[in-house]
Amino acid sequence: MEITFIGAAREVTGSCHLLHVNGYTILLDCGMFQGKRSESAEKNKALPVPIPDIDAVVLSHAHIDHSGRLPFLIANGYSKTIWATAATRDLCAVMLADSAHIQEKDAEFLVRRKKEFVEPLYGMRHAVRTMELMVGLPYNKPFDVVPGVRGTYVDAGHILGSASVILDCTEGDITKRLVFSGDIGRSGLAIIRDPVSPPDADAVIMESTYGNRDHESVDGARAHLADVIRKTAARGGRILIPAFAVGRTQEMLYSLHSLLREGAIPSLPVYVDSPLAIDTTTVFQMHPETFDQSEDMVKRVKELFEFPLLKFTRDVEESKAINAARGPMIVIAASGMMEAGRILHHLANGASDPRNTILIVGFQAEHTLGRRIVERQPMLKIFGDEVPLRAQVEVINGYSAHADRTELNTWIDKVKAASPRLGPIWLVHGEPEVQDEYMASLTARGYSVTCPEPHSRVSF
Ligand SMILES: [Zn+2]
Ligand SMILES: [Zn+2]
């Protein structure tokens, strides 16, 4: 039994690992590489392995850095099963269609600029075909991935539908259990349940995004959010929140809703300016079975994503009208790392106004506009124009959907406590410096840990 690490190896994006068991090859995730444009474009164009060699795909969750290259497999002839949870499947239906649209638009743009034909990575028909191949499953129900490999999804508590995958692998009379963590969430995140630690394992592929630091608490984050809103509103400014359309947007809405109910923030116009966020909010409403019923508002409020002065703006004219509106307001728009999407218009308009606040509530990868804003660089480049950064920049890490160091430790400690024979742990999905630090701390605590390089192969 072997694993080849392709993506999210010594980096955060492009999650993709190959599992070789019993003569079969299974892809764990097939995500998009993000970050530096030219570099990631090259990586995104490389197939992880020849298509005929792939026997099945097991998807951990719908985030594009995990699912975004599935239609690219289809564009290259893949026609076998893609396993996912039911909510992941529904999220992928809207997210992959959106991604296909972006691929097509990007290619058109390059054609105009370079005056030569550029093939999009994939198109809408490939996203549609992906959905025909994707099977949505409940949590905790074993399924046969390929002969000799039985999978079970457990709730990873990261975003709607997110899962860690238990893979029971049999070759001859030997069975070993591999656990793929997917992205591990946090306890106490709004709406969705807390992460479930998988049972005993022989080997683990584990994410390590925040392996070197702790987040502020979820409660601390709410208080911080209320404070930022009150102060910015008092200055007459706007609160611009770049947010991933899936997960973070709904979490922000839930927080705003609950703060309003408590009277902790003034009632301001709130715009969700993202067609994708509107669609993914609908998918949330379709999956109440995944909600955390121990949360007060989940139990008591029927419409979690509706409150006074909340407006979902789908069409472009409505979106433009927001810039003309006056007075304090909250604008939530994608993309989360400010690399694309309507947030760019709001930043082009609002970043130079010192009354405004750019409120960062998500991870900002290297080489993104979001990272430059977190670093408070004085001049930003938006749509090719120089825009001075004079708005306040606030960072709330408590809204991270990723486990922090303490929560990662809790997760792996529980696996270890249940595992008499826990063998290797491979850290993935983290920046190299963070991974090295986390590897050292786990090693010091008696774990056998490595950080595989891209295209390296290990056996277990
Ligand atoms: Zn994720
Ligand atoms: Zn991820």
pLDDT digits (tens, 9 = 90+) for 248-264: 999 999 999 999 999 99
Tell me the C-alpha distance between 322 and 309, whole Å: 13
- Taking a C-beta distance cutoff of 8 angstroms, is the pair 435, 208 a contact? yes
Q: Which DSSP state fits 46?
A: S
Beta-strand ranges (E) seen in 323-422 are 329-333, 357-360, 379-382, 385-388, 392-395
Tell me the C-alpha distance between 396 and 418, whole Å: 34
d(CA 183, ligand 2 centre) in Å: 6
d(CA 395, ligand 1 centre) in Å: 19
d(CA 63, ligand 2 centre) in Å: 6
Question: Can you name the residues that pair with 346 across neighbouring β-strands?
Answer: none
**Confidence band (pLDDT; 50, 70, 90) for 208?**
very high
How much is the pLDDT for 36?
A: 79
pLDDT (average), residues 342-362 = 96
**Confidence band (pLDDT; 50, 70, 90) for 297?**
very high
Tell me the C-alpha distance between 235 and 228, whole Å: 11
pLDDT (average), residues 17-22 = 97
Tell me the pairing of strands 379-382 and 385-388: antiparallel
Q: Which DSSP state fits 339?
A: S
How much is the pLDDT for 6?
A: 98
d(CA 66, ligand 1 centre) in Å: 7
Tell me the C-alpha distance between 120 and 228, whole Å: 41
Residue ranges with CB less than 5 Å from ion ligand 1: 63, 183
d(CA 159, ligand 1 centre) in Å: 7
Q: Is the pLDDT of residue 116 over 80?
A: no
d(CA 259, ligand 2 centre) in Å: 29
The angle, 0 to 180 degrees and rounded to 10, between the axes of the packed helices 432-444 and 405-418 is 40
How much is the pLDDT for 302?
A: 85
To which H or E segment does residue 7 belong?
strand 2-7
**Confidence band (pLDDT; 50, 70, 90) for 359?**
very high
Integer CA distances (angstroms), 89 to 22, 63, 84, in order? 27, 11, 6
d(CA 358, ligand 2 centre) in Å: 23
Residue 312 CA, chain-centre distance (Å), reads 22
Q: Which residue has the higher pLDDT, 360 or 110?
A: 360
Q: Is the pLDDT of residue 166 over 80?
A: yes
pLDDT (average), residues 53-79 = 97
pLDDT > 70 in the chain, percent: 100
pLDDT (average), residues 26-30 = 98
User: Residues 135-143: contacts with CB within 8 Å, 24+ apart?
Assistant: 135/81, 135/82, 135/83, 135/84, 135/89, 136/84, 136/85, 136/86, 136/87, 136/88, 136/89, 136/90, 137/83, 137/84, 137/85, 137/86, 138/85, 138/86, 139/85, 139/163, 142/168, 143/83
Residue-wise over 305-333: b if at least 16 C-beta within 10 A, else e?
Answer: bebeebebbeeeeebeebeeeeebbbbbb
Q: Which ligand is nearest to the CA of 161?
A: 1
Taken in order 190, 193, 198, 203, the sign of the CA dihedral is negative
Say if residue 335 is preceded by a cis peptide, omega within 30 of 0.
yes
The token pair that represents 269 in the structure block: 């116009």
Q: Which ligand is nearest to the CA of 209?
A: 2
**Confidence band (pLDDT; 50, 70, 90) for 387?**
very high
Tell me the C-alpha distance between 115 and 109, whole Å: 10
Q: Which ligand is nearest to the CA of 402?
A: 1
Tell me the C-alpha distance between 202 and 327, whole Å: 58
- Taking a C-beta distance cutoff of 8 angstroms, is the pair 310, 332 a contact? no
Residue the block writes with tokens 């508590």: 157
**Confidence band (pLDDT; 50, 70, 90) for 216?**
confident
